Amino acid sequence: MSRLAQTAGLTDIQQEILATVRDFVDKEIIPVATELEHRDEYPQAIVDGLKELGLFGLMIPEEYGGLGESLLTYALCVEEIARGWMSVSGIINTHFIVAYMLKQHGTQEQKDHFLPRMATGEVRGAFSMSEPALGSDVSAITSKAVRDGEEYVLNGQKMWLTNGGSSTLVAVLVRSDEGHPEGTAPHKSMTTFLVEKEPGFGEVRPGLTIPGKIDKMGYKGVDTTELIMDGLRIPANRVLGGTTGRGFYQMMDGVEVGRVNVAARGCGVAQRAFELGVSYAQQRHTFGKPIAQHQAIQFKLAEMATKVEAAHAMMVNAARKKDSGERNDLEAGMAKYLASEYCKEVVEDAFRIHGGYGFSKEYEIERLYREAPMLLIGEGTAEIQKMIIGRRLLEEYRFQG
Ligand SMILES: Cc1cc2nc3c(=O)[nH]c(=O)nc-3n(C[C@H](O)[C@H](O)[C@H](O)COP(=O)(O)OP(=O)(O)OC[C@H]3O[C@@H](n4cnc5c(N)ncnc54)[C@H](O)[C@@H]3O)c2cc1C
């Protein structure tokens, strides 16, 4: 199915990468995704395949062994992968955000140390802002780092780490009051620490525990965990960028590209839902004809396809804006908001087209129905996107009277 979600102006290399990824998705992901998801099984063979394709290093500069591709290429690959199984795009996404933050904000030593091994997928990234008492309100973080000689001692509890168990490098945002007097704005007293650890669960490093996987309604296969720091000692040279107090801005930069990524996931899941819906509608007969011949179902298909097209166009626009070096928070917020809402609606329509069979675990749409809601939450809820969009609009359209 290739009529929808086309992207004009791609280079030969971009087209080649996308064709390879689509082929991989069709042959290696779609046939096994639903079964693995129902078993909540980590897709190791798929991850190994993605490593071979070089996808863990897609945006890492060539000098560090990556492919040095743009955010657009990355987002279009994510769209393809999410079309196959959204959880697989989640496995890559936190890795990509951490690599991006290192590339943008890391010291030379940090880049040299981590990026080549991240490009091969040997080091795998996760990022951690959320805590049990906060997600949207990042400025309320209570986890804390206190300096002790050439080290920092970290204490606190983190929540909702995608790839918390399988990763070996976690970018953790904590409060660090050192050098920042009482009364400093919360976002100026936060620091990102680069925390290396063993993969797995339990005490993965002295002072650092990853309890088991959180049991989720969807987005299965990929591990989502808590992270507990109890006297965790991190050397001062593992402060991202070498200077404390910059963590909030570094994380927000990472989340901004992450929003394009979530938009791309929404596009991919919506495309798959459309494919399933349009196919089923031509096979199922009621009242003597395929349900696709009933106007009510055709209207649904028309609405679904229009939403797929609109979300794809906004996602591509947001990615291109960032690639051009311009600020893209408005476009990324809009793309994330629209693509995730449309994804939920397209999946719901495809589910309705399936009638009772959509409720059966034998049909792929059942999985998509449980996956789509995650996109309404991750990288900032719809309300948070609207706050970002609204504030930016008021900056752009300031009343001059
Ligand atoms: C599967 C999964 C994976 C995740 N992975 C990660 C990860 O890898 N790393 C990480 O750091 N976090 C991760 N998260 C956390 C995610 O970012 C947060 O869940 C999200 O930001 C929302 O925060 P919250 O759950 O605390 O909801 P809250 O912030 O408590 O919000 C609850 C409700 O109130 C609304 N709300 C909040 N503030 C306002 C406001 N000012 N105005 C209007 N409405 C408001 C919200 O929109 C929401 O509807 C993950 C979450 C899930 C479910």
Here the tokens at position 369 are 């129905």
Q: What is the CATH number of the domain that holds 176?
A: 2.40.110.10
Using the structure block, give the residue that is written with the tokens 């408005």.
Answer: 330
* Contact yes or no for 194/247 (Cβ under 8 A): no
Say yes or no to pLDDT of 26 above 70. yes
Is the CB–ligand 1 distance for residue 267 below 6 Å? no
Is the CB–ligand 1 distance for residue 134 below 6 Å? yes
171 & 210 share domain:
yes
User: In ligand 1, which atom is closest to the CA atom of 384?
Assistant: 47
Residue 42 in any domain: the answer is: yes
* Contact yes or no for 256/203 (Cβ under 8 A): no
Residue 4 in any domain: the answer is: no
165 & 269 share domain:
no
Q: What is the CA(259)–ligand 1 centre distance, in A? A: 13
Here the tokens at position 252 are 């927000």
Total domain count, the chain: 3
Q: What is the CA(308)–ligand 1 centre distance, in A? A: 25
The predicted-structure confidence for 37-96, as pLDDT tens digits, reads as follows 999 999 999 999 999 999 999 999 999 999 999 999 999 999 999 999 999 999 999 999
Instruction: Read off φ and ψ for residue 170, nearest 5 degrees.
Output: -115, 125
Q: State the pLDDT confidence band at 182, using cuts at 50, 70 and 90.
A: low
Is the CB–ligand 1 distance for residue 224 below 6 Å? yes
Q: State the pLDDT confidence band at 177, using cuts at 50, 70 and 90.
A: confident
Instruction: Find how far residue 212's CA is from the centre of its chain.
Output: 21
Q: Whose CA is nearest to atom 13 of ligand 1?
A: 160
Give the separation between CA 221 and CA 159, rounded to whole angstroms: 18
106 & 157 share domain:
no
The predicted-structure confidence for 345-376, as pLDDT tens digits, reads as follows 999 999 999 999 999 999 999 999 999 999 99
Is the CB–ligand 1 distance for residue 373 below 6 Å? no
- Residue 73 belongs to domain spanning: 12-120
Is the CB–ligand 1 distance for residue 136 below 6 Å? yes
Q: What is the CA(377)–ligand 1 centre distance, in A? A: 6
255 & 390 share domain:
yes
Predicted confidence at residue 179, as pLDDT, reads 61
Q: Whose CA is nearest to atom 44 of ligand 1?
A: 383
3-class SS of residue 80: helix
Predicted confidence at residue 313, as pLDDT, reads 98
Residue 3 in any domain: the answer is: no
Instruction: Tell me the average pLDDT across 375-397.
Output: 95
Is the CB–ligand 1 distance for residue 381 below 6 Å? yes
* Contact yes or no for 97/58 (Cβ under 8 A): no
Say yes or no to pLDDT of 251 above 70. yes
User: In ligand 1, which atom is closest to the CA atom of 129?
Assistant: 11
User: In ligand 1, which atom is closest to the CA atom of 126?
Assistant: 8
271 & 287 share domain:
yes
Residue 253 in any domain: the answer is: yes
Q: State the pLDDT confidence band at 205, using cuts at 50, 70 and 90.
A: very high
Q: Whose CA is nearest to atom 26 of ligand 1?
A: 135
Q: Whose CA is nearest to atom 41 of ligand 1?
A: 384
Q: Residue 281, Cβ neighbours under 10 Å: how many? A: 20
188 & 268 share domain:
no
User: In ligand 1, which atom is closest to the CA atom of 381?
Assistant: 47
* Contact yes or no for 42/163 (Cβ under 8 A): no
Residue 5 in any domain: the answer is: no
Please list the active-site residues. 379
Here the tokens at position 48 are 């190994």
Q: What is the CATH number of the domain that holds 268?
A: 1.20.140.10
